[in-house]
Amino acid sequence: MIVTLTLNPSLDRTLEVEALRRGEVLRAASVHLDPGGKGVNVTRALLANGVGSRAVIPCGGAEGEQLVLLLAGESVHTVAVPIASRTRSNVTLVEADGTVTKVNEPGAPLTAAEFDAVAAAVLGSAGTADWVVMCGSLPPDVPVDVYAGLTAQFTAAGIRVAVDTSGPALLSAVAAGPDLVKPNRDELAEAVGAPLSELGDVIEAAQTLRERGAGAVLASLGADGAVLVDDDGVLLAQGTQIEPRSTVGAGDALLAGFLAGGARGDKALIEAVAWGAAAVGLPGSRMPCPADIRREGIVVVDLSREPGPPVSKLSAPGF
What are the percentages of helix, strand and coil residues in the chain, rounded to 5? 35, 25, 40
Query: For residues 28 and 191, what is the distance between their CA atoms, to the nearest angstrom?
Result: 37
The Cα–Cα gap between 279 and 220 comes to: 13
Whole-angstrom distance, CA of residue 146 vs CA of residue 165: 12
Closest CA relative to residue 90, chosen from 30, 33, 31, 19: 33
User: SS3 for 201?
Assistant: helix
Residues annotated as catalytic are 252
Question: In degrees rounded to 5, what are phi and psi of residue 276?
Answer: -65, -45
Closest by Cα among 223, 252, 241, 248 to 48: 252
